[in-house]
């Protein structure tokens, strides 16, 4: 069957059919091609690129221009997956007008299919304004890395009855505000299950257990390219950093020993042309 571009109705249909949604981050053209070719439903150009690609200590320093730059590269490598651009810190908190303007940049300049906003009550007005502007919004609750200092660090959210109830209420409010889905990060699995059952829109879990409608991971984490720390919820399916490091060492060793490049890596010139060249040099 011919593969088609994933749409919001497709994602909604997956929830109704209890067919798990797959989602990964990507930050450049070659990785986007690999993710899309693997048949992943959704690609998030996450502001996590600040840490796993740009080397920042957190996601907070990431700018709109950096997000647009990487989103454009991912769009060029992606054909079928539903592409979501992550609104960075400071791009939607100032005013509703500023939020809409920056969301439009993801759509017009980067060719994204939707944007993602972190937060609950504090982003409801911005969410409504962006949705009313015709731009799909993916919500994000639980651990919200952009406000990690307010949360007191990387901590599980919704561990008490009171905080879990608040998270559920926030999810329902985001649904009413027009979000087509909600990411749940670092939430107890049974709490994520309740949210998933209460919402008519898909939930995408990251450290939220198996009961969500879909799962998302940071690509660089799950392929072992980022080793500063590995969250508990991450499963590393390969460890590319080890393979790459080994390849780099072998390259250095072969260049220093003179075994690379070999004849198979070199271009040749015909003997008669070489003779002509040498005669030219004598003139």
In a domain, residue 3? The reply is: no
CB burial class (10 A; 0-12, 13-18, 19+) of residue 34?
middle
In this structure, are 140 and 269 located in the same domain?
Answer: no
In a domain, residue 171? The reply is: yes
Residue 197 designated active-site: no
Please compute Rg for the chain using Cα positions: 23
> Which CATH number is 226's domain given?
3.20.20.60
In this structure, are 148 and 267 located in the same domain?
Answer: no
Give residues with Cβ within 8 angstroms of 123, minimum separation 6: 92, 117, 139
pLDDT tens sequence across 114-148? 999 999 999 999 999 999 999 999 999 998 877 65
In this structure, are 263 and 124 located in the same domain?
Answer: no
What does pTM read for this prediction?
Answer: 0.93
In this structure, are 100 and 46 located in the same domain?
Answer: yes
Q: Any idea which residue has 């929830």 for tokens?
A: 15
Question: Of the listed 66, 118, 175, 185, which one is catalytic?
Answer: 185
Our CA angle for 221, 227, 229, nearest 5°, is 85
In this structure, are 55 and 96 located in the same domain?
Answer: yes
pLDDT tens sequence across 72-94? 999 999 999 999 999 999 999 99
Enter the tokens of residue 146: 């952009």
Structural domain range at position 257: 243-282
What's the number of domains the chain is made of? 2
In a domain, residue 110? The reply is: yes
In this structure, are 159 and 182 located in the same domain?
Answer: yes
Which residues partner with 137 through β-bridges?
115
Strand positions, DSSP E, the chain: 21-25, 42-45, 82-86, 114-116, 137-142, 181-185, 203-206, 214-217
In this structure, are 187 and 117 located in the same domain?
Answer: yes
């Amino acid at each position: 069957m011919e593969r088609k571009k994933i749409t919001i109705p497709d994602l909604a249909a997956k929830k109704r059919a209890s067919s798990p949604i797959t989602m990964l981050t990507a930050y450049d053209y070659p990785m986007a091609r690999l993710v899309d070719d693997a048949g992943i439903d959704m690609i998030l150009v996450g502001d996590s690129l600040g840490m796993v690609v740009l080397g920042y200590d957190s996601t907070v320093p990431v700018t709109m221009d950096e997000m647009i730059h990487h989103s454009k590269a991912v769009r060029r490598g992606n054909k079928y997956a539903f592409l979501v651009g992550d609104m960075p810190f400071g791009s939607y908190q100032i005013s509703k007008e500023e939020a809409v303007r920056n969301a439009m940049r993801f759509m017009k300049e980067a060719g994204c299919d939707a944007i993602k906003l972190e937060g609950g009550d504090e982003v409801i007005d911005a969410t409504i304004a962006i949705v009313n502007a015709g731009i799909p919004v993916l919500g994000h609750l639980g651990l919200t890395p952009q406000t990690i200092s307010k949360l007191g660090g990387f901590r599980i959210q919704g561990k008490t009855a009171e905080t879990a109830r608040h998270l559920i209420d926030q999810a329902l409010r985001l649904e009413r505000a027009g979000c087509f889905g909600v990411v749940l990060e670092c939430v107890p699995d049974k709490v994520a299950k309740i949210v998933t059952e209460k919402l008519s829109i898909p939930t995408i879990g990251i450290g939220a257990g198996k009961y969500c409608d879909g799962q998302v991971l940071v690509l660089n984490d799950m392929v072992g390219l980022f080793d500063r720390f590995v969250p508990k919820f991450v499963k590393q399916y390969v460890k590319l950093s080890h393979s790459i490091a080994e390849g780099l060492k072998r390259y250095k060793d072969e260049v220093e020993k003179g075994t690379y490049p070999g004849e198979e890596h070199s271009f040749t010139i015909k003997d008669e042309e070489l003779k002509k060249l040498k005669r030219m040099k004598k003139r």
